[in-house]
Amino acid sequence: MGDRGGTGGSRRRRTGSRPSSQGGGGPAAAEEEVRDVGAGGDAPAPDKDKDGGANAGSGPWDLRCHRLQDSLFSSDSGFSNYRGILNWCVVMLILSNARLFLENLIKYGILVDPIQVVSLFLKDPYSWPALCLVIVANVFAVAAFQVEKRLAVGALTEQAGLLLHTLNLATILCFPAAVAFLQESITPVGSVLALMVYTILFLKLFSYRHVNLWCRERRARVKTKPAPAGKKANGGVAQRAGTVSYPDNLTYRDLYYFLFAPTLCYELNFPRSPRIRKRFLLRRLLEMLFFTQLQVGLIQQWMVPTIQNSMKPFKDMDYSRIIERLLKLAVPNHLIWLIFFYWLFHSCLNAVAELMQFGDREFYRDWWNSESVTYFWQNWNIPVHKWCIRHFYKPMLRRGSSKWVARTGVFLTSAFFHEYLVSIPLRMFRLWAFTGMMAQIPLAWIVSRFFRGNYGNAAVWLTLIIGQPVAVLMYVHDYYVLHHEAVTAGP
């Protein structure tokens, strides 16, 4: 090879084409070159590749194999490809839950019973109070329509119309609640479904009245000054071919399209898709069927035994066991909640939208990336969020309220409806749902103040995973004490 230390000696180094040992370099071909080593033994620095490391083809005689760099897990490294670790987390999650599910089967056997599901909706096969309530809801929709027809032609004053709408909307909330309390044959699950229908009807008719009022106000302003060519009173939208303007929208066809459409905000002209995609619709229907069965099975097999085993620790006030039951319930509860989200907001709403050729399919946004509680509530339920912004938040701002007051008002309204949909079917008032919703206000401040980025996202996930089973256990415990221990301890 040549004299390495001799003065004036020389060596010949041949570089080949082989992969670089330094990260980031690819195969490189270099010409054969001769380097002379000086008398002082100082070798010239090897050629650098584009990443700053030694040339990939510099051969075995390189004197340097290190460079300035950070470990991959250091924040300064700029490395962000953790896909393998994410896959590992998914595999570990599947394995751990598979163990829990197998343990559940060994301990309790198969608890899934489709016949028992029917009893959740019906006590008496000859009495269908929840279905009757849903059918009667048409009366309130027609009443709102008739009021709007008379307001459009001037047969009613705006003050009289406001009074009639207020009475109609108040009755929509009070009537099913009274039936749920007084009718013994209605089940809690049937009551929840009926109350949800009436709550949706309330929000829709509130929007229906609001938008038609805006159209009448615009029409009144247009009468005082000439309108530009091609413009009509259509909520501020230019009249185009095939569109509807006020008051031509006041038809039963238009009303019931809005009532069945997957939105809570009324418009005179909804965006429409060109056709019904049969394959897309079939996939959504199959998802609805599959995830319905999966949710029922998980609730019966996994959640119900855990909840039943939680009653004794609550009765004995054994706090360590209560926390253990809470953490054990958190896993199936959160999994069922995630499945419910996909089932409702993706499968069900997309299926209804496809059938009705409803074009706006933004039912949710990327709430899973939420770094604050506020961002979560703004993005996980878009139909409700749009209604709150359009018909509650912005009107309060226009009346001079501050943003904080308007935001608090939105949470108060949401807290009321959460408690309305839980306490009335259970026939008890404990305000756990109301308190949980109002607690979101200080929680949002704490997360935004002390947690940022990934830490904020982790805080949001933690509140979702732990908060819901706390409310579930509170209501189940109170329901058990009220309806079971009271019966056993009776006269």
CA distance 292 to 296: 6
Which two three-digit tokens encode residue 264? 């809570």
Q: Which residues neighbour 186 within 8 Å (Cβ) at sequence distance 6 or greater?
A: 123, 129, 130, 179, 180, 194
Letter string b/e over residues 180-193, b meaning 16 or more CB atoms within 10 A of that residue's CB: beebeebbbebbbb
- Please provide residue 424's backbone torsions phi and psi, each rounded to the nearest 5 degrees: -65, -45
**DSSP one-letter code for 123:** S
- Is residue 431 within 8 Å of 438, Cβ to Cβ? no
User: Is 477 labeled as catalytic in the residue annotation?
Assistant: no
- Max distance between CA atoms of the chain, in angstroms, equals 114
CA distance 207 to 155: 21
* Residue in 165, 385, 391, 418 annotated catalytic: 418
Q: What is the DSSP string of 422-465?
A: HHHHHT----HHHHHHHTHHHHHHHHHHH--HHHHHHHHHHHHH
**DSSP one-letter code for 43:** P
Residue showing tokens 């300064």 = 76
Task: Identify the CA nearest to 147 among candidates 250, 220, 257.
Answer: 250
Q: How far is CA 190 from CA 32, 174, 181, 304, 395, in A?
A: 84, 17, 12, 19, 35
3-state SS class at 54: strand
**DSSP one-letter code for 75:** G
Q: Which residues neighbour 23 within 8 Å (Cβ) at sequence distance 6 or greater?
A: 51, 53, 69
Q: How far is CA 477 from CA 11, 308, 419, in A?
A: 86, 9, 16
Give the residue numbers annotated as catalytic, written as ranges.
Answer: 418
